[in-house]
Amino acid sequence: MTIPLFDIKTPLAPLQATIIKRVTEVIESGRFIFGPEVEGFEHELAEYVGTRDAIGVGNGTEALMIAARALGVGPGDEVVVPSFTFYASAEAIAAIGARPVFCDIDKDTRNVTPDSVRPALSAKTKAIVAVDLCGVPAEVPAIRKEFGLPVIEDAAQALGASLDGQRAGALGDIGAISFFPSKNLGAFGDGGAITTDDPELAEKVRALRFHGSRNKESFEYIGYNSRLDAIQAAILRIELAHLDEWCSGRKAAYAAYLKAGLAEYVGVCTPPQGSDPAWYLCMNTHPQADAVIAKLKAAGVSARSYYRKPLHVQPAMAPYVNAGPQPPLPVTDELAATNLVVPISPVLTEAQATEVVAALAAN
Ligand SMILES: *Cc1c(COP(=O)(O)O)cnc(C)c1O
């Protein structure tokens, strides 16, 4: 028996009949772009996250691009971004003409903190991207307070997590969420959303996702065609009602790992005080990570490393790294070399967690 890294199918299986029925209704309605399903989902997502607005877009990458554009980021600006994250976190900044400046992360939380951001700031810094890596919320309120700069919360991996009772997606000035199928709330294809409490930002986001127009008559910005479609929205509405239950399953699986002794064999994450992570990934460290991954695979456990080549050494980022000072990133370099990710999902059982830890323990 192999334990897969992700299990997308099992949690969705009981919802399949309901989903097919709702998708059929959307097909029969003939409304595929915007319309009541998208509006309904946006309303329910805003309520879930706890922001005034949630705005559906095409995917998480475009959510980041549009969020940064709404904040006024553009050519000549710098945006601080962690290097240890999925490529899109920085690609989105470069794609709108600004310079991503890479910062390090905290050794314990593996997220950006005021101390890790500070060396990357300059007079040109227009915003900071804080990624809630692996579903662990970044200490965004502390970063906002410390620097007074707008923070884009990349909550692509963290929907369902919270920090001091505030949900991921509501921690920054503006939040970006991905509904890529493997994410905590996964569409049947691509999808994304932007969350914010600021009505002016929300207005601008709504225009930017539709060709820079508020009324289909006057086009104010060079925008995007970036929409969440009605079929995905209808599916996401059904799933959203189960997100808390799925996140509870992820937390139970993580607790089972700790109970089985995970921390005796690998370095584990220390989430920030007051946080309730949603455990999108169970990322650990080991000095011989590749050998451990090979051992796990031989025992029938899917495991892999993530971001082994962090963003500041990716070829496409070289011109941005070379465009000015770039602080050293020792924690990033170490985590990139030593991380190993083991399976987690809403339905990973205690027996499976015990089996994974037993495979780690074996010589
Ligand atoms: C998945 C992800 C994205 C991009 O989302 P897409 O929907 O795939 O475009 C951005 N940032 C992070 C941290 C992600 O994990």
Angle between helices 289-298 and 350-361 (to 10 degrees): 120
Reading the block at residue 37, the tokens are 């399903």
- Predicted confidence (pLDDT) at residue 1 exceeds the cutoff of 80: no
Partners of 340 in the beta sheet? 284
> Distance from the CA of 64 to the center of ligand 1, in angstroms?
9
Position 167 pLDDT exceeds 70: yes
Q: Does the CB atom of residue 154 touch ligand 1 within 6 A? A: yes
The span from the CA of 197 to the CA of 220, in Å, is: 23
What is the pLDDT averaged over residues 165-193?
A: 98
198 touches 151 (CB < 8 A): no
Q: Which of 84, 86, 307 is the best mutation target for the ligand 1 pocket, counting ligand atoms within 8 Å of the beta carbon and taking the most?
A: 86
User: In the β-sheet with 78-82, what is the strand arrangement from edge to edge?
Assistant: 53-57, 192-196, 174-178, 151-154, 125-131, 78-82, 99-103
Binding site membership of 88 for ligand 1 (Cβ less than 6 Å): yes
- Residue 157 CB–ligand 1 contact under 6 Å: yes
Q: What integer pLDDT is reported at residue 190 of this predicted model?
A: 98
Say yes or no: CB of residue 156 within 6 Å of ligand 1: yes
Residue pLDDT, tens place only, 268-291: 999 999 999 999 999 999 999 999
pLDDT at residue 147 greater than cutoff 90: yes
Q: What pLDDT is recorded for position 326?
A: 87
Asked if residue 96 lies in contact with residue 90, where contact means CB atoms within 8 angstroms, the answer is no
The pLDDT value given to residue 157: 98
Dist. CA 160–CA 251, nearest whole Å = 11
- Protein residue with least CA distance to atom 7, ligand 1: 60
Angle between helices 36-49 and 230-240 (to 10 degrees): 40
In tens, the pLDDT along 322-361 reads: 999 889 999 999 999 999 999 999 999 999 999 999 999 9
Give 1 Cα–ligand 1 centroid separation in angstroms.
Answer: 30
- Looking at residue 363, what is its pLDDT? 79
8 A C-beta contact, residue 81 and residue 127 = no
- The pLDDT tens digits of the residues spanning 252-262 come to 999 999 999 99
Residues 87-140 pLDDT 10s: 999 999 999 999 999 999 999 999 999 999 999 999 999 999 999 999 999 999
Residue 153 Cα to ligand 1 midpoint, Å, equals 12
**φ and ψ of 118, to 5 deg:** -50, -50
The pTM for the full model equals: 0.98
Of the candidates 20, 91, 27, 33, the one whose C-alpha atom is nearest the C-alpha of residue 62 is 91
| Residue bearing tokens 């710098």 | 78
Answer for the pair 196, 202: CB distance below 8 angstroms, yes or no: yes
131 Cβ closer than 6 Å to some ligand 1 atom: yes
Identify the structural domains of the chain with CATH numbers, from first to last.
Answer: 9-240 (3.40.640.10), 243-361 (3.90.1150.10)
Q: How many CB atoms lie within 10 A of CB 273?
A: 9
The ligand 1 atom nearest the CA atom of 180:
7
Q: Tell me, using a 6 A CB cutoff, whether residue 60 lines ligand 1.
A: yes
Question: Residue 148 pLDDT more than 70?
Answer: yes
**How do residues 23-39 score in pLDDT, each as one tens digit?**
999 999 999 999 999 99
DSSP string, 115-167: HHHGGG--TTEEEEEEE-GGGPPP-HHHHHHHH---EEEE-TTTTT-EETTEE
CB 62 within 8 Å of CB 258 = no
Q: What is d(CA 335, CA 142) in angstroms, rounded to the nearest whole number?
A: 23
